[in-house]
Each structure stands twice: as structure tokens, then as C-alpha cells.
A and B are shown apart, each in its own frame.
Chain A
Amino acid sequence: MVSSIGVKALLLAALVAVPFITSSYTAYQLGLYILFGIVGQGIVLCWGKGGFLPMGQALFFGIGAYISGTVLKSDPSWGVVLLAVLLSVLVPGMIAGIIGVLVFGRKIGSGLYFSLITLALSLLGYQLANSQVWLTGGFNGMTGIKGLPGIDSFGSLYFFIIGALVFSTCFLAYLIRTPFGQNLEAVRENEERLQFLGVNTSRIKAAAFAISGGVAGLAGAFFAPHQGIVTPQVVGFILSAELVIWTGVGGRFGLAGPVIGAVLIGFLASGLRDYFSFWEVVVALVFVIIVLRLPGGIAGLAAAYAKKIGMSLDTFRSSPRDEQILSSPTNSQPRLEFKNVSLQIGPVVILDDLSFEIVDRGIHCLIGPNGAGKTSALNVLTGKLAHNSGKITWCGQPLEGMQPFRMSGLGIGRKLQVPSIFPELTIRQNIDIALWVNRLKFGNVLSMRPYRWHKALKDRLERAFPFLIDAEVLAGKLSVGQRQMLDFSMTVLAAPDLILLDEPCAGLSKAETETMISAIADLAKSSKATFIIVEHDMQVVELLSDHVLVMHQGRLLAQGSLEQIRANPEVRRVYAGGSK
């Protein structure tokens, strides 16, 4: 077994040795491809980790290059050069951040639009670079850029580039391991679920995009002295496209992928382009095949091979020792009120003047025939659907127009009907995200501290659902029943006052249903939370309910104890079907 650190040290040594072993021209070329690879690492953060693809990344690379080029034209001191590098990172980073906030801010799943907008920005950058001659030198480019003070651009600058690569790799690798990085991956896996866990996902995406812009700017800062000229092509869409191709072909899921892709395709291209005119067609074809069949790219293939021969390239996060016990806040008295809530989609009336109040703790079961509007009632409550009229308040606070991620701040948690988890994350990571709800702040989101957090409730859940102890298993590998239980565990770990469960036993076997029911009953007894459970299964209702609400055709038909409901002739009529 070869250790992961060893492999990385060996790779680094090999990179440093390149100028001594091969020609300095090879090292010079390699330096350029590595710069592109660094930009690709930023794309990995967005695309591989966050699940949204920036298609105009050359823009930020180019802005960095123009800034550093402008400064280097004037033979500056090292202090000024450092300032320029800093600016080359900050300016593109900020621009990217603003764009991210604007594009992601309004709508979940605006991924396609984001990609196209970034592509459009790269086109705009190209036009600006061409037309603003006073700033950029226009079509002929910004010339007369000198190297870094005292550094030979064809010689030792290479080592600075290696340094930039090491920096960007370490920085991004750290970032990916922090709670921020883990939440970013959760965005890719299931953005809606993460929102119900109280995470402002659009802000995470914007931050990741800003960082990727900064990383691209850093590479750009070295590009200017390396090439001595910056032309509008450097911000243009062709380079943007190539950056995505290198990242995709090399591998979008890890930081090595884009470097492999850029270096490999770069050297192949410089060798083949002149003899083989279809070269770029072949690269595009390979890209399409990778999208269709091989999302992990070359790095993915390599990792699979390494695993086969028994090498571990992944470092598992070591289990933290000294745990920090989080206190659970005391739940306040519930007060949920639906007042004349109506919802109509097209000609279909879904909720018809629905009114009810929940003021007692315990388990409230919401039952009713298909199409009665049970799930819709929860959807308007959590802001997934906007109701046409009426009022919904929680402890006096109106819930209209509230974004889902704010709900958890009010103590409202929800489990959807289908098990909704983060399949490519481990059980531990899934649970961690739930433990972090409402506690991740700017001060700790980039530290490793939150991984030490623990709640007594977690032990209780592990006793109820023993499979949770096997924490390094990928959540996607669990059975449906286990996924329901994991989802349920996440919902209650977030410690809400009001827990909304939509058919928690759907798709469970008889034995699993029993496990689930006893877990819910146990939690309801031990915690002071209020549960609203939408349920079809009368056995579940029988075992759990303190109070039953019956809906029919968008209205509340009856409420009371199960015995009262059973005795109610109207309910019997609705349930026995139309037996007139």
C-alpha cells in the first residue's frame, strides 16, 4: 500500500525536476499548461464539487493577466508586484462573487442560465479587451510586459508557477474539507434538501464561484510575465471552452484532473496540431464521450486503476477525538395557524379556505384521501408553493414568501416524502450537515471545529437505527428504508420545534415500519417538539397520533382524537368511498 502523501511528494519532486531533466523549453511549456490547470482547479470547485459549470472562466484569468501585466510594464519593486498579484486575485474574485450573487440569488436550479451567462461575460470581456485600447492595448495585445523582478521568465519563473500550483492545490484541498466544502458538495447532491436544513445555498455557490474567479486570477497574474504579452484571446470564449474541456477530460472531481488534462492535451496539441488537422475535432469528440460515458475523466480512470492495484489516493478524514457536546435549546410552546389558506394552480383548486390551528405538543397526524391537499398544505407552509390567499403563522410570525432556508431558523424542519439525502456523501457527512444547522457562522465555516460537534440525540438515533454507526458508508449505497431513516435522523438532529414528516414510512417493509414508528414515538416522548405527520397508513396513525386532522378536497373535514375521527360519519363516508 502506497501512502497518499508519498505519491504527492513524488509528483511534486518530479515537477521540480523537469527543468533539470528535460529542456528548459519543455519546462517553459509545462509552466503554461500548469497555469491553465490552476484555472481548471477553480472550475473543479464549482463544477465537480458544487455542480454548476462556469463556462467563461478565461475572463477571470484574463483580468488577472491584464492587471499584473499593467503593473509589470513599469518595472516595479517586489512590494508592488506582490500587491499586483493580490489585486489579480481579489478583483476577478469580487467580480465573480457579484455575478454569482446576482445569478444564483433568485431561483434554485438556475445552473443552465448561470453557465450561459458566464459564457456571455467571457464574450463581453473579449469585446472590451479589443475595444478599450487605452487599457489593454486592444487587438494587438498588451506588450512590453517584463518578467518578475530578477526572475528569468524562461527559467526560474517555472518554480514560481509550481509554487502557485502547490498553493492553489493546498488551499482548495483544505477548503473542500471544511464544512464549507462539504456543504458545497451537498448543494450538488441535493440543493433543495440543504435549503430545508437551513443553508443559504445561493450564497455558498456564489462564494465558490468567487473563489474560482480568484484562483483563475492568480494563474493570470503569472501568465503575464510568463508570456510577456496579453492579448484579448486570453479573456475570450475559445480559451474558456478549452479550460472546461481540459477539466472535463482530465477529471472534474479532483484537483489533479484539470492539471493532468491541461498538460496532457497541451503537449499532445503542440505536437500534433500542425500535422493532424482534425486534432481539435478529436478532442471535442473525446469530450462528448466523457460527458456521456465517463464523467470522472482521466483522473477517474486512474483512481479506479489505483484502487484495483491496492493504492489509496483518498485520505479519509480521521475521526475527531474530543467531541464538543451541543446543548439543545428548549422548545417553545407551538402555535401554528392556518387561516383561510387557498391555493389554486390553473383551474384546479388544491387548498380551499383551509383553516386550522395546532397549539399542543405531540404528534398530529394529517390524513385524508388522495388529492385532499395534505402534501400541498405542507408545501405552502414551507414556502415551496405560494398560496393565493390566507395567512400562515408560526408563533405569531407570518411565513409568507419566506425562503425555505430561513424556515429552519424559525425551528421548522421538514422531511420530504421520498428519501432525500446526499447520496455521494457518507453517512457521517450527511449527519454532520444536520448537526451544523443554524450553527455554522462565518467564524467556523472554514475551520475544522464543527466536525467535533456532537449531540446526545445522535447516540439515541444510532441506537434506534444501528446502521448509522457505520459512518463511512456512502449514503447512496443504503437501502430505501435506511435512506428514509437517515433522512428522518437528519431532520430531527437539526433540532426543530416543529417537525413535518411526509409519509415517513413510505416504501418501508413491515419490520422497517415498526423500527421507524418506535423511533418517532420515542423521540416525541423525549423531546418537546411538535410533529405533523402526513400519513396514509392507518396503522401508523393508530400507533402514533395524539391528534388527527382529516383533510378532504382542500378543506379540513374533521379533527380530534382517533376515536372521535373513527366515529365521525363524514369521515367514514369519505373513507369508505362513494357507497351511496
Chain B
Amino acid sequence: MEVFVTFLLNLIYISATLALIALGLAMVFGLLGVMNMAHGEFVMLGAYSVYVVQLAGQHFLWAIPVAIVICVMVGWLMEWLVVRHLYSRPFDTLLATWGVAILIRKGVEVIFTRDYKSVNQVMPGTIDLLGVSYPAYRLLLVALIIVLFVALFTWYQKSKAGLKIRAMVQGPELAAAVGIDTARLSRLTFIIGVSTAGLAGVLLAPLVRVEPYIGLDYLMSSFFILIVGGLGTLEGLLIGSTVIGGTDAIVSTVFDKTAGYMSVLLISILFLWLRPDGIFYRR
């Protein structure tokens, strides 16, 4: 029983964090058609924000505004200088954002070196839940992610900006005809997407190693989630996260980390082969 509850909690924790990481890529790829290869680098920037804030002797929570400011700035520059010229050219977008990814990665490497940075634990200790004691920060994280998803989803469904984004995605021409500045709205969407990645980086920093190359893993897992879950639906994102996270966790436990990664990759290739549009697909 305890083993089962622990496993279940782990699964929830892994799926939730993965969903948070993939959210930004799902937004940017699903809504704008941009495969942002620098997605993981924004997670990395978020994680480094925590390191910098703690280095300055400030409270962990300060990292959230710091990360958002950095991601908004970098994202804005990136959209303005690179991405906006390439919206209808997915392949060039992939190349250019990938160049930007290397740029950010190398830039961080020059400033902070390649060494792992340790980030202080936030909320150490455990909480008793259903008969098992589980790390408190992880539970808090899951709760925060749920809140964030609900908030973002509500914003997307109810707010004027969300309404306009949905209108733009569905009919860019009609949207322009009713006076919606689609270029600006695309930029906003891009910036929000990369900012959620930065936020994910902040929240995960206390749990993972922080070094310049972590972004790539996050990009890959986000990508796998999108392949499995398909584009355009929240259900797809959550199911994709659970499938990818769950497979990785189970196989890694039974065999080793490499086997876990291999199984995830295999599942993704199988999905490309059998269900190229993912589990949930909406035209």
C-alpha cells in the first residue's frame, strides 16, 4: 500500500512538473507553429535566476520576478530579431531558434562556467500524506502547478486577450479584419510561452542540478510529450506528460536511466509511426 501510494505521488509529481515544462512549448508550437529549440534554455535561465538570487542573499521567491523579467526580455528580443521573420517557415524557425539556444547556452557558460551550481533547499522536510511521508516542497510544487494551470487556462478561456489569441489562431485574416494586431498578439503569446518555461525553471531549481546544458533534456521531454499528446488540447498535454513521465519513471526504476530514456524515445517514434497526430488531435 505504502509503496503504491508513494508511486502514485511520484507519478503525479513527475507528470505535473513535465506538464509545466512542456506547457510553454505546447503554446508556442501549438498556437504559433514555432518549434522553439531554445525552450529548454528558458527553463535553464529560470533555474539560474534562483542561483543568482540566492547568491545575492535574497529570498527564493525573488527568483520568480527576476526570472520572468529575464525571460520576457530575452523572449521579446528573440521574437523581434529572429522569430517574427520566420513565422511561415517552420524549418528555418527550428534552425534559427536552435542557434539562439546555443547562443544562450554558451553565454551562460561563459558567465557561470560549466560547473553545477547548488541551489539551497526550499521547504526541506516531509509531510505525512495517506500514510507515507512525502517531501513537502514536491507537494507544494504540485499544488502550485495545478493553480498555475487553472489560472492560465481560465485566462485563455475567459480573458479578452485569450479570446483574441484563440481568434487569431483560428482565423488570422479575419482577426486582422476586425482590427486585431496579430503581430503583437503573436509576440505576446511567444513571451508568455517562454515565461512559463522560466517559471518552471525557478520552481524546479531546488530539485535538479543547475548547469548550462540542462535545457536540452527539457526540450526533448517537452517534445516527446507533444508527440504523444498531440497539439492543441490541455488533455493531450496532461496525458502526454503522464505517459512520458510514467514510462520513464517505471523503466528507470526497473532497469536504469538510459533504459528509461530509450523507452521514452521508442514510444515517441512509435507514435510518429502509428499516430502521427498524437492521442488528441483537433483540427
Instruction: List residues of A whose CB falls within 8 A of some B CB.
Output: 51, 53, 55, 99, 102-103, 105-107, 110-113, 115-117, 119-121, 123-124, 127-128, 130-131, 237, 241, 245, 248, 277-278, 280-281, 284-285, 287-288, 291-292, 345-346
Instruction: Let me know if B279 is at the binding interface, CB within 8 A.
Output: no
Of the candidates B91, B106, B258, B273, which one forms a contact with A280 in the assembled complex, judged by CB atoms under 8 Å apart? B106
Query: Are B110 and A106 in contact (CB-based, < 8 A)?
Result: no
CA distance A338 to B28 in the complex (A): 42
Task: Check B256 for interface membership: any CB of A closer than 8 A.
Answer: yes
6 A-B pairs with CB atoms under 8 Å apart are A102-B273, A120-B220, A130-B258, A237-B216, A280-B102, A281-B106
With A119-B220, A124-B262, A131-B258 known as contacts, the answer to whether A107 contacts B106 (CB < 8 A) is no
- A121-B265, A127-B258, A278-B110 known; A291-B95 Cβ under 8 A: yes
Known: A117-B265, A123-B216. 9 other contacts (CB 8 A): A99-B269, A103-B273, A119-B220, A120-B265, A121-B265, A241-B102, A245-B99, A291-B95, A292-B82
Whether A127 pairs with B257 at a CB distance below 8 angstroms is yes
> Which residues of B are in contact with A by a Cβ distance under 8 Å?
35, 82, 85-86, 90-92, 94-96, 98-100, 102-103, 106-107, 109-110, 216-217, 220, 223-224, 227, 256-258, 261-262, 265, 268-269, 272-273, 276, 283
Contact present for B99 and A110 (CB under 8 Å): no
Beta-carbon contact of B220 and A248 below 8 Å: no
Whether the Cβ atoms of A120 and B268 lie closer than 8 Å is yes
Whether the pair A117, B272 counts as a contact (CB closer than 8 A) is yes
Q: Which A residue sits closest to B102, measured CB to CB?
A: A284
Tell whether, in the assembled complex, residue B106 and residue A287 are in contact, meaning their CB atoms are under 8 Å apart. Answer: no
Return the chain A residue nearest B276 by Cβ: A107
Chain B residues with Cβ below 8 Å from A121 are 265
Give the distance in Å from the alpha carbon of A291 to the alpha carbon of B100 in the complex.
11
**A contact patch SS:** helix
B278 to chain A, nearest CB (A): 11
Q: For B227, give the chain A residue with the smallest CB separation.
A: A113
Interfacial chain B residues near A107, Cβ < 8 Å: 272, 276
Please state if A291 and B272 are interface contacts (CB–CB under 8 Å): no
A280 cross-chain contacts in B, Cβ below 8 A: 102, 106, 109-110
Q: Which residues of A contact B257 (CB under 8 A)?
A: 127, 131
Q: Which of B95, B96, B102, B268 contacts A53 (CB 8 A)?
A: B95
Give bound CA distance, A116 to B261, whole Å: 14
Is the pair B103, A111 in contact by a Cβ cutoff of 8 Å? no
Check if A112 sits within 8 Å of B35, measured CB to CB: yes
Complex formed: what's the CA distance from A123 to B94 in Å? 18
Contact among B86, B223, B256 for A116, CB-based, below 8 A = B223
Report the bound CA distance from A120 to B219 in whole Å. 10
Chain B residues within an 8 Å CB radius of A278: 110
A103–B272 Cα gap in the complex (Å)?
7
Instruction: Known A102-B272, A280-B106; judge A291-B96 contact (CB<8 A).
Output: yes
A232-B262 Cα distance, complex, nearest whole Å = 16
Closest residue on chain B to residue A52 by CB atoms: B91
A247 CB, min distance to chain B CBs, angstroms: 11
CB-based closest 9 A-B pairs: A288-B99, A284-B103, A284-B102, A127-B258, A280-B106, A287-B99, A291-B96, A107-B276, A291-B95
